[in-house]
Amino acid sequence: MTTATDNRSIQDKANEFVKPGHLLINGEWVEASSTLETINPATGEVITTFAEADAADVENAVSAARAAFEGKWSVIPAARRGKYLAKLADLILEHGERLALLETTDNGKPYFESSKIDIPFAANVFHYFSGWADKLSGQTIPSRSDAFMFTRREPLGVIAQIIPWNLPLVMCAWKLAPALAAGNTVVLKPAEQTPLTALALGELIIEAGFPPGVVNILTGRGEVTGAALVKNTGVDKISFTGSVEVGKEIMRNSADNLTKLTLELGGKSPNIIFADADMKSALRGAINGIFYGKGELCCAGSRLLVERSCYDEVVAALKEAASGLQVGDPFDKKTRIGALVSKEQMERVLSYVEIGKQDGATLITGGERVAFNNEFSEGCFVSPIIFADVDNKMRIAQEEIFGPALAVIPFDTEEEALSIANDTQYGLAAALWTNDIKRAHRMAASLKAGTVWINTVNMFDPSLPFGGFKDSGFGRDLGEDALDGYLQTKSVWVDLS
């Protein structure tokens, strides 16, 4: 267990590793005129202060990014860009423990998730894209004898990247790595709830030797720093991950500038258990699908569709499994559900418990604030929530809760499962559990989702694209597709007649 003294030392460590009140602009830590506080959601204590960039800071960062793009970054060999990324990946691993400590303190997620999954995955993503930097080629188009025609794939320029609080360092990697590999420069804005690992990454970016201005990091609130970045006319593209409402606002606010956009928005992902599935794996997948990361994942399997013949058995097993998950100190090895990211988020999640009950769903477990009589008494802890007998039309089945809340929905046929799964505004991900290979492929082809997992859930690889269908957005993170989003094609026609 972590003690109060340990928590204080965590705060000291946070202050050692990041520069409170500073922004990374043009390779230097620049003091900002105003600051905000970031809170440890497990204790309610202030961890440290951080800067809020205003429109003038945004302008400076965008100008620095522009100068780097037109200058040094555009002339260094592509392989060198890759080397910077590989070096950054190595530094992330080297400083993994400290990064994981900051991540868990800032976000509330269990330390084993930060240290064993998130931080190594962020490094993997930088390693993967480091290899792409010198492999981006165009085509020669041999369709005429009187011309030599070819295409070049060129970077877009200055990219604004706005990311959420659920996977703070992982999101930095998803956004920065492909944009930089493709030769762009970046102004990155982390979420105001979790700025610390992005700031720590800024230190590592300096240490890796990136030329000044290639990566600028601006902290601050969405409506202040984010909005100024979105409206800045020097930005060539915005890549955003976050809520549908903010995604729409960004689209509206950048429309006059015709800024290119990639949006990775929310989800209400179906996790479908057929009666012929390997039940042990399916149950584990159902639990991990929603409770990993406290359910604060855009791809969380928040709707569990269960074939009626095994419905009662599944609901009983889920109840037992969920009530056995330890909620509490994120630094305790046995904890599976840490603190929700903020009081606001906790209240939002608890409000859906009332909404679910009012709409007639059966709350079979959880749904209460977990109270501790020690340093965690102010923590944002909620016991894992499972609603059974949910109708897909209910708000708890249609609205993204972004917390540890599962809605279990029965179905009778494959056709019905598909129709319920697709009956949502979202289309980010889906998972299904079956031993019938033909059914698995039929479903994979018909589910309207950017990712389909078969007999597994929430698995990511840097080489596999991730992004949404329908209101879950457009454009892709990860894989070769992510690079496409940061490149534009130029066609060149050389007259040979």
Q: Which is nearer to ligand ADP, 36 or 78 (CB)?
A: 36
Q: Which of 51, 250, 305, 405 binds ligand ADP (CB under 6 A)?
A: 250
* Integer Cα distance of 196 and 217 in angstroms: 11
Position 162 contacts ligand ADP (CB under 6 A)? yes
Active site residue 264: yes
Q: Which stretch binds ligand ADP (CB under 6 A): 93-101, 105-113, 223-231, 436-444?
A: 223-231
Q: Which of 21, 41, 96, 164 binds ligand ADP (CB under 6 A)?
A: 164
Does residue 390 sit in helix, strand or coil? coil
* Given the residues 45, 113, 298, 310, the one annotated as active site: 298
Q: How far is the CB of 58 from ligand ADP (least distance, A)?
A: 11
Q: How many beta carbons lie within 10 A of that of residue 162, not counting itself? A: 26
Listed residue (184, 479, 169, 78) closest to 86, CA to CA: 78
Position 379 contacts ligand ADP (CB under 6 A)? no
Position 243 contacts ligand ADP (CB under 6 A)? yes
Position 85 contacts ligand ADP (CB under 6 A)? no
* Integer Cα distance of 305 and 314 in angstroms: 10
Q: Which stretch binds ligand ADP (CB under 6 A): 125-133, 163-171, 404-412, 427-435?
A: 163-171
Kindly tell me the burial class for residue 373, based on how many C-beta atoms sit within 10 Å of its own C-beta (0-12, 13-18, 19 or more): exposed
Whether residue 409 contacts residue 269, with contact meaning beta carbons closer than 8 Å, is answered with: no
Q: Which stretch binds ligand ADP (CB under 6 A): 4-12, 141-149, 161-169, 475-483?
A: 161-169
- Residues contacting ligand ADP: total by CB under 6 A: 18
Position 196 contacts ligand ADP (CB under 6 A)? no
Q: How far is the CB of 327 from ligand ADP (least distance, A)?
A: 21
Q: How far is the CB of 266 from ligand ADP (least distance, A)?
A: 8
Position 226 contacts ligand ADP (CB under 6 A)? yes
Position 222 contacts ligand ADP (CB under 6 A)? yes
Q: Which of 189, 268, 294, 476 binds ligand ADP (CB under 6 A)?
A: 189
Whether residue 191 contacts residue 164, with contact meaning beta carbons closer than 8 Å, is answered with: yes
Q: Which residues of 95-131 are buried (b: 16+ CB within 10 A; e: fewer)?
A: bbebbbbbbbbbbbbbbbbbbebbbbbbbbbbbbbbe
Beta-sheet strands, E only, within 57-205: 140-141, 147-155, 158-162, 185-189
Q: What Rg do the C-alpha atoms of the chain give, in angstroms? A: 23
Kindly tell me the burial class for residue 476, based on how many C-beta atoms sit within 10 Å of its own C-beta (0-12, 13-18, 19 or more): buried
Q: Which is nearer to ligand ADP, 7 or 107 (CB)?
A: 107
Kindly tell me the burial class for residue 67, based on how many C-beta atoms sit within 10 Å of its own C-beta (0-12, 13-18, 19 or more): middle
Enzyme catalytic residues: 264, 298
Interacting residue ranges for ligand ADP, rule: CB under 6 A: 162-165, 189, 191-192, 221-223, 226-227, 230, 242-243, 246, 249-250
